[in-house]
Amino acid sequence: MSAPLDGVLVADLSRVLAGPLAATMLADLGATVIKVERPGVGDDTRQWGPPWTATSSSYFESANRSKQSVELDLDDAGDRRLAAELTRRADVVIENHRAGALERRGLGYEQVAARNPRVVYASISGFGSEGGRELPGYDFLVQAVGGLMSITGDPAEPTKVGVALVDVLTAKDATIGILAALRERETSGRGQRVEVNLLSSLLGSLANQASGFLTTGRAPVAMGNRHPSIAPYETLAAADGLVAVCCGNDGQFRRLAEVLGSPGLADDPRFATNPARVEHRTALVAALEKELGQAPVAHWVGLLRTAGVPAGAVGTVADGFALADRLGLRPTVDVGPGAPPQVRNPITLTRTPISRYAAPPRLGEHTNDVRRWLTEGEAP
C-alpha cells in the first residue's frame, strides 16, 4: 500500500527530541529516514534512562522508530564527504546543531542548497538564529524562561509540564513547515530553509493565555487546575477523590446543577452566566463540592456523562491508554519482535493509512548498507 511520503528521503542530522520526533513523523508517513549518529555514542538520548529496552533507552525509542541508523564522524574528512553526499541526495535535511557547527563542516544550509537546490532544510534551535543563536535550547529551560512554568501548577511554585511538551510542539511545527515546503517545491522546483525554535513554538502554543496578555498587558498566573476564563472548568472534590468538570456554556452548567440536586444554582445571579461564575468562583466551588462530597467520583461521572456534562475521573497514564483502547482508538502499535509497543501516530488517513512501523534502530545498524549506497549507488 502506498504512503503519502513514498519516495521522500530524509537525512536526520538531529538529536534528542524535537528534531528526531519530526523525522519520525515523516517516517510514519512513508518517508525513508536515515539517522546520522556519532560513532560509538549515538544520539544523546540512547543514554537517557531508565527505563531501558533490550537495545537502548525507552526515551530514545520514543522518537526514532522506522529509521535507518548510520554512524558517521562529522570531524572525519571521509565521513563528512559521505554526509555531504547524503544531504545532496536528500529531499529533506533536519538538524538542530549548535550555531555554526554544520557550516564549519560544509553541511550548513547554503552549502547543502548549493549542491542540492531542491532540498528542504529544517533547522531547529532553542531561541532562533539571530540574538539567541548562541543560547543552548533545552525544553526545561524554555518552559522556565518562556513563561509556561509561571502558568502551570499551583500558585506557590512555578512548575514544568510533566513531559517535554515544548520539544513535542516544536517537532509538530517543524513537520508542518517541512510538508508545506515540499508542497511548494512541486510548483517552484526549488527547496528552502524551514526554521523553528522552541521559544517561538512555546509562545505560539499559549493560545488564550498569550491573547489575554496581549489584550490586557497583564501576565497570566498559575491557577492550578482552574481556567482563567471559564467556571466550573476544573477539578472538584467528591467523596473519594477528584472529578474533572468542564462546563463550557450555561446549558451545561444548568444540567450540572440539576444532576447535583441543586437546580437553583443555575438561577442564582452569581452563577447564572459564565462571567458571573468566574467572578464568584470561590462561592461556586464551595456550593458544588458540598453536593459532590455526598457520593464517590464514579457515581457522579456516570450521572454527569448521561446528562451531557463533560466530566471524568482524574486518571494515570495507564488509565489514559486503557480508555483509548476501550474507545477503539488502538493507541499502540507493534514495531517488531522483542521491541516494546509504541504509541500509534495520532493521524488517521482514509486512503493512505499509516501502516508501516518498524523498531527503532540499533546504533549503526545500517551503517554498512548506507555507506555502500552512498559510495556505490546501491539502495540501502
Residue 15, amino acid? R
- Active-site hit among 12, 43, 91, 167: 167
Extract the C-alpha cell encoding 151.
Answer: 502558568
Integer Cα distance of 78 and 173 in angstroms: 34
What is the phi-psi region of residue 137: left when phi exceeds 0, alpha when psi lies from -120 to 50, beta otherwise? beta
Closest alpha carbon to 187 in 132, 265, 118, 242: 118
**Catalytic annotation on 173?**
no
Extract the C-alpha cell encoding 202.
Answer: 512555546
Integer Cα distance of 187 and 30 in angstroms: 21
Closest alpha carbon to 160 in 137, 142, 143: 143
Alpha helices in 206-352 (DSSP H): 207-216, 250-259, 274-279, 281-292, 297-306, 317-326
CA angle 27, 33, 37 (to 5 degrees): 130
Give me the active site residues, please. Answer: 167
